[in-house]
Structure 1
Amino acid sequence: MKSTISLLLAAVTSLVVGGIVVTTPAPASAASLTEVANFGDNPGGMRMHVYAPDSRPANPAIVVAMHGCGGSGPGFYSGSEFASAADRHGFVVIYPSAQQEAGFGKCFDTWSAAAKRRGGGSDPVSITSMVTYVQQRYGGDPNRVYATGSSSGGMMTNHLLALYPDVFKAGAAFMGVPFDCFANAADYPPGSSRCTGGGGANRTPQQWGDSVRQVYPGYTGPRPRVQLWHGTNDTLVPYALLQEAIEQWTDVFGLSQTPTSTDTPQTGWNRRRYADSSGTTRVEAYSVQGAGHSLPSAGMAARAVAFFGLDGTGTTTTTTTTTTTQPGTGACKVTSTVNAWNSGLTESITITNTGGTAVNGWALVFPLPSGQSITSGWNATYSPSSGQVTARDATYNAAIPPNGSIDIGFQASHDGTTAKPSSFTLNGLLCATT
């Protein structure tokens, strides 16, 4: 058993701490991650880091971004795209660091009786204290507070939305579980529990919804909107739990179990939306085809920020049931051309800035098709050589003016597959492709 836990811990650490598929560098800004030692009531004994971009409004929105088991706030800061999104959109990010040992390293407490009570103590109270601190220290807008997280952090996201619907306006949970899924400390960690192993997670929508309603009896205010993400090949936190979370939140909102729309906003991302009678999407669920316990990957933070309404698009409504593939949503366009021969190929890529402001420093992320491996490149550095690849500027081409373009490319070996990457993300924004 000890060896099994050790293997699971190694897997979670590699996936959630240092390998959230894409690792982006710290934002190119004078702002930096700052630790706050005394932020208020802290029954969870947690550490707090905050990232406040230099350019932000007087009353910025607040996003709480939470790591997975074995991770840390600084690790999630450097290994996810929320700080770079904060630079673009002017919100403040709180990065809590869990201190509860749970067999997988330090995890957020979503199992104890104290953590399941509103104001009961443990990590949820510590996190709400962090929110209050940012509201007081940075003028954070109490009407624009959001939660997101990966794995253990995704579980805590659902937890916070259930306990504090008057604090959080929306959340985006990556690879989480429904609120009140874990029975107690003995039912944790994932991989050995009734929650993630079956039994305790097979409940009716009303039973799941009742778990949320019972923690704040009599609450009649608005409930936070919910975005859910899960990989179809996730076995650590099984994919089936996505459906349980959908059932929980649709029941809380009194919505049908049948989605009001379905689409494929990006290759491999199947989205279901559940809207109310006004057309506002209250629950949104992404099934990421073939993904294991490895989210968020490139571009997903941008989708979460858009769902929160922090990117200026305000796209929260849907009125028809469709199945479509959407074009890129970022202020960028990528054109790529492949020339292949027996066992090799070259790919020429043109990156165009279609926005109104210059790009200063860039990272282009794309999934290299299976069987291909980069052997050399030009006008950028490429890492790793296969899988999810990040191409970074070569310093001399770091600036892309509005409506300007730069050309990069690489040579790769292949095993017969000569397709182009299915998508390109520039600095966390999904680009249109041709």
Structure 2
Amino acid sequence: MKSTTFFPVFLGLLFALFAHAASVDKRQSRGSLQQVTNWGPNPTNVPMYVYIPNNLASSPGIVLAIHYCTGSAQAYYQGSPYAQLAEQYGFIVIYPSSPRQGACWDVSSQATLTHNGGGDSNSIANMVTWAISEYGADSSKVFVTGSSSGAMMTNVLAAAYPELFQAASVYSGVPAGCFYSSTNAVDAWNSTCALGDVMDTPQQWGNVARAMYPGYSGARPKMLIWHGTADTTLYPQNYFETMKQWTNVFGYNYNAPQIVEVNNPQSGYNRTIWGPDVEGIYAQGVGHTVPINGTQDMIWFGFEA
């Protein structure tokens, strides 16, 4: 009489073998920057890199760390504290790398300024959703940060993909949509915005952010905005315009912050708190860009009390 159990048992053993091999592969890729390929829809061919810490938490969080113009995933990995912090707190870091000449991000085209519009922001958002599934990450612990052009993209992602993130830390950027190109140019430089000459009301700025995901009524990431008073690349007025935008999105009165703290988090840095979802830090005498403060980011993201 032929056995009817051999084939299912064989399949089970085969599945276990492949699962074990996959887990070994993931262990071997820990503790160093690794490029990921074939991770999903990537309309603008943005390379994806990840850092999986040796001390990976169960159901880990994710920090999306976005580089500046002329930068790369490798440069931001080496020049920012997030990989080291990942070892301490057990989260995964995603480092997208700009595919464009000059390595800036497209924060100007209609595609990138539209939810699922097909631009750079869409590619980066797809990285996040893939990583949540692939690594069993906690979707309630996903955060985004960036410097300069990466800060601009951070604001764009917070506006166009608010459902993905719980908090953002923005180092020396401009309001979401400020670099918008009237000719729909991709990765266009907007000198008027960069010089701080695009000045609108909080309502107007809030409308720009909301228009990136029409009809969205869910939760939005809380926003921490950093800018230096001596920034001559993205002029300081962009700090105030960005604060107008996010205070309006969250329903705060821009002209009536709740708390203003001098020398917080350090000497010469002034923190303005409009409410639990919007804070700004204006750094006296600091140029472009404000140095990353990993400790403050971990507090803002909820990894540190």
Question: Does the TM-score normalized on the shorter chain lie above 0.5?
Answer: yes
Q: Deviations for 1:120-165, whole angstroms, at most 9, x for unmatched residues?
A: 0121111111112211221111111111000000000000000011
Distance 1:217 1:206 in 2: 16
Distance 2:220 2:233 in 1: 29
Counterpart of 2:85? 85
Distance 1:212 1:183 in 2: 12
Counterpart of 1:52? 52
Distance 1:153 1:36 in 2: 20
Structure 2 counterpart of 1:301, from 286, 294, 297: 294
The CA deviation at 1:294 is: 2.8
Counterpart of 2:116? 119
Change (3 A) 1:113 1:139: same
Distance 1:189 1:283 in 2: 27
The amino acid across from 1:310 in the alignment is F
Aligned residue runs from structure 1 range 278-427, under 5 A: 281-297=276-292, 300-311=293-304, 313=305
Could you tell me whether the CA contact under 8 Å between 2:228 and 2:283 is conserved in 1? Answer: yes
Counterpart of 1:95? 95
Structure 2 counterpart of 1:160, from 151, 157, 161: 157
Could you tell me whether the CA contact under 8 Å between 1:31 and 1:52 is conserved in 2? Answer: yes
Could you tell me whether the CA contact under 8 Å between 2:227 and 2:289 is conserved in 1? Answer: no
Distance 1:181 1:294 in 2: 18
For this pair of structures, how many residues does the alignment match? 271
Identity of matched residues, % = 43
Counterpart of 1:365? none
Counterpart of 1:233? 230
Q: Deviations for 1:338-387, whole angstroms, at most 9, x for unmatched residues?
A: xxxxxxxxxxxxxxxxxxxxxxxxxxxxxxxxxxxxxxxxxxxxxxxxxx
Greater per-residue strand proportion? 1
Structure 2 counterpart of 1:262, from 260, 263, 270: 260
Structure 2 counterpart of 1:210, from 201, 207, 211: 207
Structure 2 counterpart of 1:251, from 248, 251, 256: 248
The amino acid across from 1:37 in the alignment is T
Q: Deviations for 1:278-322, whole angstroms, at most 9, x for unmatched residues?
A: xxx11111111111113224xx122112101122x1xxxxxxxxx
Q: Deviations for 1:229-279, whole angstroms, at most 9, x for unmatched residues?
A: 01110010001100000000000011011211121221111111111xxxx
Distance 2:134 2:187 in 1: 38
Query: Partner of 1:106: helix, strand, or coil?
Result: coil
Counterpart of 2:10? none
Distance 1:147 1:268 in 2: 25
Query: Partner of 1:133: helix, strand, or coil?
Result: helix
Scaled by the length of structure 1, the TM-score of the pair is 0.60
Distance 1:213 1:186 in 2: 21
Could you tell me whether the CA contact under 8 Å between 2:105 and 2:187 is conserved in 1? Answer: no
Change (3 A) 1:217 1:186: closer
The amino acid across from 1:308 in the alignment is F
Distance 1:84 1:187 in 2: 31
Confirm whether residue 148 of structure 1 aligns to residue 141 of structure 2. no
Scaled by the length of structure 2, the TM-score of the pair is 0.85
Worse-superposed segment, 68-77 or 178-187: 178-187
The CA deviation at 1:186 is: 8.2
Distance 2:80 2:200 in 1: 33
The amino acid across from 2:109 in the alignment is S
Could you tell me whether the CA contact under 8 Å between 2:224 and 2:280 is conserved in 1? Answer: yes
Could you tell me whether the CA contact under 8 Å between 2:106 and 2:187 is conserved in 1? Answer: no
Could you tell me whether the CA contact under 8 Å between 1:229 and 1:242 is conserved in 2? Answer: yes
Q: Can you give the 5+ residue segments of structure 1 that lack an aligned partner in the other structure?
A: 1-28, 276-280, 314-434
Query: Whose relative contact order is higher, 1 or 2, with alpha carbons under 8 Å and at least 6 apart?
Result: 2
Query: Partner of 1:178: helix, strand, or coil?
Result: coil
Query: Partner of 2:270: helix, strand, or coil?
Result: strand
Query: Partner of 1:154: helix, strand, or coil?
Result: helix
Worse-superposed segment, 80-89 or 181-190: 181-190
The CA deviation at 1:100 is: 2.2
Counterpart of 1:70? 70
The CA deviation at 1:217 is: 2.4
Q: Can you give the 5+ residue segments of structure 2 that lack an aligned partner in the other structure?
A: 1-28
Distance 2:36 2:214 in 1: 33
Q: Deviations for 1:179-216, whole angstroms, at most 9, x for unmatched residues?
A: 110121389325xx2211344x2111000001112222
Could you tell me whether the CA contact under 8 Å between 1:53 and 1:92 is conserved in 2? Answer: yes
Distance 2:187 2:46 in 1: 22
RMSD of aligned C-alpha atoms?
1.6
Q: Deviations for 1:40-91, whole angstroms, at most 9, x for unmatched residues?
A: 1111211111011111222111110011001001100000111111111111
Greater per-residue helix proportion? 2
The amino acid across from 1:246 in the alignment is M
